[in-house]
Amino acid sequence: EPTQPSHFVRRHIQEDNASGRFGGKVVTRFPPEPNGFLHIGHAKSVCLNFGMALEFGGHCNLRFDDTNPIKEEAAYVESIKKDVRWLGFDWGDKEYYASDNFQQLYDWAVQLIEAGKAYVEDLNADEIREYRGTLSEPGKDSPHRNRTVEENLDLFARMKQGEFDTGAKVLRAKIDMASGNLTLRDPVLYRILKAPHHRTGDAWHIYPMYDWAHGQSDSIEGVTHSICTLEFEDHRPLYDWCLDALDVHHPRQIEFARLNLTHTVLSKRKLLQLVKEGYVDGWDDPRMPTVSGLRRRGYTPESIRDFCERIGVAKSNSTVELGLLEFCLREQLNFIATRVMAVLHPLKVVITNYPEGQVEELQAENNPEDAAAGHRTVPFSRELYIEQEDFMEDPPKKFFRLAPGREVRLKHAYIIKCEEVVKNDKGQVVELRCTYDPETKSGQAADGRKVKGTLHWVSAPHAYDAEVRLYNHLFVHEDPDDIEIPASINPDSLEVLKDCKLESSLKEAKVGDRFQFLRMGYFVVDSKYSQPGRPVFSRTVPLRDTWAK
């Protein structure tokens, strides 16, 4: 484990522990809105919130911020729980829903009205915006700002009972129409929405806004440190105002910079668009930056946590290279992935001096990085496949692979020499006729002469004919948020290879199993397209960062 660089969130918690502000307790929360699947940006927030709680011996709540029934679904709740668990975090029985607080939030709103700190507004959204003013000019008071407490109580109760149409009225906090912080110019606390909620059904016709629901939910749950992203910095005075007005437990809001990644969109709106319009095969498409997409792509939870640790926590927004995420993954896969041989673009090789019908079971090391991984046997026979790109008829000097008259070593096997090139009537190379040197078997005492190139190969009669899927970035541009979908989408982000020749042991591979295909990258058995006994492989990541400039 790398030593953790310290950061301001940790320092704030340490300060509060030292001053006894929360009696030494640390309670955080991860508060997703169930309106989509979690993505790598959420993973950063998960790691930070659960990480701080674990580090300080506290706990982290999983809170569903389910205050907008129009976009939320129970299926998203389930996917979020699965993903947080998969990332390696446990919220125990600390599972909360903002919607469970609807009655309390309503009662508190009534309390605000009674204290003269909130009023019912009839202006529509455009008018409210106009009256709010701008940073350079103060706002104007709404004509409804000075309604009496009685009138406000009556109207608010009737809003709740469903007497008014969606959008007809809102409840606003009465704060300061001249504030230098626009958020404090009488923010909206409640709106009318005639929409059923996935948990509360038809019970409510009004729903609290984020600013009214979030801080109070933090308070109800006994949260001590409410960690959120930078765009809520302007909302902090409002967060504090609400809790002060109610005189209830008052957590500390701390903001950090959200994660942005090159070649990646992280807005749920855009991710939903990719799914809905069919640019990907679902929220868990291996090209998606969702936690479920990364899982299907072959990412490990450890590598994602490592990434979140390395990028750290900052107070100003920046964009992280996607290559760093891939680096963290390779670091781990190098230790855990079984090495196998797979030929993605096959070229037939016949060993003319190898006896017909003979099969040798060669010993192959499963992982040179892990002695405990052991060995397996790999069949060798007269007919093999090698990679098309490992042969050149007229090679440059530095081409250390196969060419007419040249020798290479076959991994775990023998040195072979290319004697003859067979072409079809279009002049394409379709087969190589080679000889092998029986004295050069890998691992033998007389290992023979040195040759520069070592190729992977697969025995033709034993090969498992498989589909292999190769992925590229979904977006070619470094900052795809600058361009609209679909113009921003890489038309070549998926390459499906239909007749790859894989080492026979791979036929037994199970969904989620991870391998290094020698020289070709790390691969995983895909959960969507595999059939029992017919695994389909997806490339998780190439062996080297081919995108680095």
| 282/292 Cα distance (integer angstroms) | 10
Answer for which of 16, 31, 119, 509 binds ligand ATP (CB under 6 A) is 31
- Interactions with ligand ATP, residue window 61-80 (CB under 6 A): 65
The set of residues, in sequence order, having a beta carbon less than 8 Å from that of 477 and lying 6+ positions away, is: 263, 483, 488
Q: Shortest distance, CB of residue 389 to ligand ATP, whole angstroms?
A: 39
Q: From the list Mg ion, ligand ATP, none, which binds 258 (C-beta under 5 to 8 Å, kind-based)?
A: ligand ATP
Q: Shortest distance, CB of residue 303 to ligand ATP, whole angstroms?
A: 17
Taking the least distance from each CB to Mg ion, the nearer of 79 and 332 is 79
Q: Shortest distance, CB of residue 484 to ligand ATP, whole angstroms?
A: 17
217-239 residues labelled b (16+ CB within 10 A) or e (exposed): bbbbbebbbbbbeeebeebbbbb
Asked whether position 310 contacts ligand ATP by CB under 6 A, the answer is no
- Interactions with ligand ATP, residue window 253-292 (CB under 6 A): 258-259, 266-268
Cis peptide before 486 (omega within 30 of 0): yes
Q: Shortest distance, CB of residue 109 to Mg ion, whole angstroms?
A: 21
Q: From the list ligand ATP, Mg ion, none, which binds 104 (C-beta under 5 to 8 Å, kind-based)?
A: none
β-bridge partners, 351:
434
Q: Shortest distance, CB of residue 69 to Mg ion, whole angstroms?
A: 14
Q: From the list ligand ATP, Mg ion, none, which binds 280 (C-beta under 5 to 8 Å, kind-based)?
A: none
Taking the least distance from each CB to Mg ion, the nearer of 71 and 82 is 71
Taking the least distance from each CB to Mg ion, the nearer of 16 and 33 is 33
Q: Shortest distance, CB of residue 307 to ligand ATP, whole angstroms?
A: 12
Q: Could you identify the residue written with the tokens 């919130």?
A: 49
Helix H or strand E encompassing 500: strand 494-502
Asked whether position 32 contacts ligand ATP by CB under 6 A, the answer is yes
Taking the least distance from each CB to Mg ion, the nearer of 33 and 387 is 33
- Interactions with Mg ion, residue window 19-38 (CB under 5 A): 33
DSSP 151: H
| 119/148 Cα distance (integer angstroms) | 8
- Beta-strand ranges (E) seen in 165-222 are 170-173, 188-192, 206-208
The set of residues, in sequence order, having a beta carbon less than 8 Å from that of 340 and lying 6+ positions away, is: 502, 503, 505, 506, 515, 516, 517, 518
Going 39 to 43 to 44 to 46, the CA torsion angle's sign is positive
Q: Which residue's CB atom is positioned nearest to ligand ATP?
A: 41
Asked whether position 33 contacts ligand ATP by CB under 6 A, the answer is yes
Are the CB atoms for 152 and 169 separated by under 8 Å? no
Task: Give how many residues touch Mg ion by CB under 5 A.
Answer: 1
| Among 106, 73, 97, CA closest to 197 | 73
Taking the least distance from each CB to ligand ATP, the nearer of 72 and 326 is 72
- List the catalytic residues: 33, 258, 268
Are the CB atoms for 541 and 326 separated by under 8 Å? yes
| Long-range CB contacts for residues 517-522, cutoff 8 Å, separation at least 24 | 517/340, 517/341, 517/342, 517/344, 517/456, 518/339, 518/340, 518/341, 518/342, 518/411, 518/456, 519/387, 519/456, 519/543, 520/342, 520/344, 520/456, 522/298, 522/329, 522/330, 522/333, 522/337
Answer for which of 17, 229, 472, 504 binds ligand ATP (CB under 6 A) is 229
Taking the least distance from each CB to ligand ATP, the nearer of 16 and 33 is 33
β-bridge partners, 517:
340, 521
Asked whether position 301 contacts ligand ATP by CB under 6 A, the answer is no
Asked whether position 311 contacts ligand ATP by CB under 6 A, the answer is no
x-marked contacts with Mg ion along 41-70 as a string, rule CB under 5 A: ------------------------------
Taking the least distance from each CB to ligand ATP, the nearer of 233 and 383 is 233
The residue type found at 203 is A
β-bridge partners, 500:
466
Taking the least distance from each CB to Mg ion, the nearer of 266 and 347 is 266
DSSP 373: G
End-to-end CA distance of the chain: 29
Answer for which of 109, 120, 228, 325 binds ligand ATP (CB under 6 A) is 228
Task: Give how many residues touch ligand ATP by CB under 6 A.
Answer: 15
- Interactions with ligand ATP, residue window 416-475 (CB under 6 A): none
Asked whether position 243 contacts ligand ATP by CB under 6 A, the answer is no
Taking the least distance from each CB to Mg ion, the nearer of 217 and 454 is 217
Q: Shortest distance, CB of residue 259 to ligand ATP, whole angstroms?
A: 4
β-bridge partners, 494:
471
The set of residues, in sequence order, having a beta carbon less than 8 Å from that of 170 and lying 6+ positions away, is: 120, 121, 128, 188, 189, 190, 191, 192
| 94/221 Cα distance (integer angstroms) | 9
Q: Shortest distance, CB of residue 171 to ligand ATP, whole angstroms?
A: 22
- Contacting range for ligand ATP; rule: CB under 6 A; set: 36-44, 198-206, 288-296, 333-341: 36-44
DSSP 263: T
DSSP 265: -
Q: From the list Mg ion, ligand ATP, none, which binds 266 (C-beta under 5 to 8 Å, kind-based)?
A: ligand ATP
Taking the least distance from each CB to ligand ATP, the nearer of 186 and 218 is 218
Asked whether position 319 contacts ligand ATP by CB under 6 A, the answer is no
- Interactions with ligand ATP, residue window 41-60 (CB under 6 A): 41-42, 44-45
Binding site for Mg ion (CB under 5 A): 33
Q: Which residues bind ligand ATP (CB under 6 A)?
A: 31-33, 41-42, 44-45, 65, 228-229, 258-259, 266-268
